[in-house]
Amino acid sequence: MTGDVVRRAADALRRASTVTVLTGAGVSAASGIPTFRGKDGLWRKVRAETLATAEAFEHDPKLVWEWYDWRRGMIRDAQPNAGHTVLARWTRERSGTTVITQNVDGLHERANTHSITRLHGSIWHVRCWTGCARGREDWRDDTVPLPTLPPRCPHCGGLVRPGVVWFGESLDTSVLQRATAAAAGCDVFMAIGTSAVVYPAAELLPHARHGGATVIEINPEATNASGISDIVIRQRADEALARLDEML
């Protein structure tokens, strides 16, 4: 049964000139990074939606930074898995393949993914919270653990915030436009390892569908993406992608 589904997905991929892949936390699960809404997604019994907001940061920047510092440590020690590796190779070797990720962990980049759009920023980027002239743009900071929490802006001494998109914040307009165009204009759209509950990322699925794409979901669980998908592979991303890759 699963074999038939994977074969149908492979056929669709083989026929496609353009493939757009939307990834979520499930793609990094096999690297040991907990998903947000899975059973290990809570940190000190706090939900991501509670911590990843400007209000939480205003109220308790140290607590929010402790969460990010913990995740940065885990991510630094993790390695890209077969799912990241296969997708990365497709972006290098199969022209017309592009990855749009909700993940901030940088594992797609570490796997050498060539065409990638990051919807939610990067956990390795920071910027000045007060928006001082020199600290307004993101800069990269790979230090793990951070020596002081919350970290301070080297330019003005104010607070530094993670360079990620928090709940209630808008995505960068040009990033969202690029992602929407890639979803609306592709032959095959894949939703891999995402619960598809966070907008506007989840809106890319109907955009792809309306644009005429064949929609493929890879996820061991049923999600908001399942009903809108033409082909559903109920497997882990690393296993399903390795199998698909063999069949192409």
Catalytic residues: 120
Which long-range CB contacts under 8 A does 69-74 form with residues at least 24 apart? 69/144, 69/145, 69/146, 69/149, 70/43, 71/33, 71/105, 71/123, 72/123, 72/124, 72/144, 72/145, 72/146, 73/144, 73/145, 74/32, 74/33
# chain residues binding ligand OAD, by CB under 6 A: 28
Among 9, 16, 88, 164, binds ligand OAD (CB under 6 A): 164
CB 20 within 8 A of CB 188: yes
* Residue 126 binds ligand OAD (CB under 6 A): no
Instruction: Give the bridge partners for 214, in sequence order.
Output: 188
* Residue 190 binds ligand OAD (CB under 6 A): no
* Residue 37 binds ligand OAD (CB under 6 A): yes
* Residue 86 binds ligand OAD (CB under 6 A): no
Tokens encoding 175: 């990033």
The amino acid that residue 222 corresponds to is A
* Residue 229 binds ligand OAD (CB under 6 A): no
Give min distance, CB of 163 to ligand OAD, in A: 11
**Which residue spans within 27-130 are E strands per DSSP?**
97-101, 116-118, 121-128
Stretch that binds ligand OAD, among 25-33, 88-96, 129-137, 175-183 (CB under 6 A): 25-33
The nearer residue to ligand OAD, 82 or 153, going by C-beta atoms, is 82
CB 247 within 8 A of CB 10: yes
* Residue 221 binds ligand OAD (CB under 6 A): yes
Stretch that binds ligand OAD, among 105-113, 124-132, 140-148, 193-201 (CB under 6 A): 193-201
Tokens encoding 189: 């759209």
- Interacting residues with ligand OAD (CB under 6 A): 24-26, 29-30, 35-38, 41, 48, 52, 102, 104, 120, 164-165, 193-195, 198, 218-221, 223, 236-237
